[in-house]
Amino acid sequence: MFTADLRPDDTTYTKTLVSHLRAVREMGYDGFDLHIAPGAPGADPRQDVDGYVRLKKAFDAAGLHDVAFTTNVGTTRTFDPTSPYAEQRDAALTYLKSRVDITHVLGGESIMSGPFLYPYGAFPTTDDGAQIWSDALQDWMRPRYPAAHSLFRELAAYADGKGVKLALEPIKSWESPPPNMVSEALDFLDDGDVFGAGVTVDTAQVVMESQGPAVFRDNIARAARQNRLLYVHISAPDRGAVHDSWIPWELMLNEIAPVYRGPYLVEVFNAIPPFDASMRMARRRFWRPGEDTPEPGRPSAYDVAAAGLTELRERIAASALSRSVPSLMAGAGA
C-alpha cells in the first residue's frame, strides 16, 4: 500500500499514483486494490464520486484502461450502519451506496471489500469514558447487528445492480470492534438474509483473530458452499512483507484454492498515516520510489511487492501439486 488516500482531485498526486501502478503492473500484477478515503467531514459523500470518475479517466489516459481495480472501504462514526438511530443508518446507506458507485466507476464489475459493517476503530465507551471489552462488548454489539440487516439487504441489491460484489472483511479486535472473525461476518449475513454479499478472508486477520484450524476449515467450506467466499487477502501477520512471514501457507491454500478462483490480493500495509497508528506499526516502513529518499541496504516498496507476488505464485503452484499427486506426497520419506 502506497497511500490511504488517493486524493482524486490532486492531479499532481495522480501522476505519482500512475507511476506506482505502472511499476507494479510490470512486475506481473493484474490489478490493484484502492483504499477509498471517507471524504471531507460534513460533506455529502455522493459528491466524492465525480472525483473518482476523473481519476479513472486519468488512469485510462495513462494506458491503464485494462487494469482491474477493487476497493477497500470502511465506515465511520458519522456513517454507522449499526446505529440505533434510523436517520444515522439512512446516512450510512447513502455513504455506502456512494462507495459502491466509486467501485463501479473504478473497476466496473468488481469487489468492494473492507470493514464496512461497524465503524472502523470506533471503540464504544461507558458514560464515564471507559472502553467496553469482552462480554460487555459482545453484549453491546448484539442489538446492532439486526439494526443493520435491512440496510445491508438494500445495499446488496443496489450493488448487484452495479455489478459490484460486497465482501465484508472481519478485522482483529485490537484494531476495531466486532465482527472480528469470519464466522461472525457469515452469521451476520445469514441471520439477515443478505443475499448477494459475502466475506473477505485475510490471512493476517485469520492468524491473529481466529478460533483455530478446524473452525477455519469449516468457515471456508461454509462460505464456499453459500457462494460467499468473494475475496482473499494474502497478508503477513505483521502486515509487512509477505515473502518472509508466518503465513501458514499449506493450511490456508489447501482449504482455499480448491474452492476459490480469485482474485488474490497481496496486501502490504506500509507504515503510513493513518494506518501507522490504527495498526500500531512499530517496524520501519518500506521506502517508496519517487516519493521517499532511497535507503541503500533497505528494501523498497517495489522490492517487497515483487517478492510477494513471486512467493504467492510459488505457493499456489505447490498447493496445486500437492493436491494433484497425493500418493507422492504421502509416500515422501518412506
pLDDT tens for residues 252-306?
999 999 999 999 999 988 756 666 676 666 777 788 898 889 999 888 999 999 9
Which residues lie closer than 8 Å to 121 by C-beta, 6 or more apart? 175, 176, 278
DSSP 164-181: -EEEE----TTTSSSP-S
Q: Are strands 165-168 and 197-202 parallel, antiparallel or unpaired?
A: parallel
Contact 22, 61 (CB under 8 A): no
Residue 332 dihedral angles phi and psi, to the nearest 5° = -60, 130
Calculate helix-pair angle for 182-191, 213-225, nearest 10 degrees: 30
Q: What is the pLDDT of residue 134?
A: 94
CA distance 54 to 60: 10
Mean pLDDT, residues 30-48 taken together:
92
Q: In this predicted structure, what is the pLDDT of residue 1?
A: 66
Which own/partner contact pairs does 259-263 have at CB distance under 8 Å and 24+ positions apart? 259/220, 259/221, 259/224, 259/229, 260/224, 260/229, 260/232, 262/232, 263/30, 263/31, 263/68, 263/70, 263/111, 263/231, 263/232
**Cα(116)–Cα(267) distance, integer angstroms:** 18
Region 144-166: mean pLDDT is: 98
What pTM, to 2 d.p., does this model score?
Answer: 0.92
Q: Give the single-character DSSP code of 300.
A: B
The cell for 141 is: 454489539
pLDDT digits (tens, 9 = 90+) for 178-207: 999 999 999 999 999 999 999 999 998 898
Q: What is the DSSP string of 55-123?
A: HHHHHIIIIITT-EEEEE----SSS-TT-SSHHHHHHHHHHHHHHHHHHHHHHSS-EEEES-SS-TT--
**Is residue 244 very low, low, confident or very high in pLDDT (cuts 50, 70, 90)?**
confident
- Residue pointed to by grid coordinates 465507551: 125
| Contact present, 180 and 170 (Cβ < 8 Å) | yes
Show the cell assigned to 240.
509487512
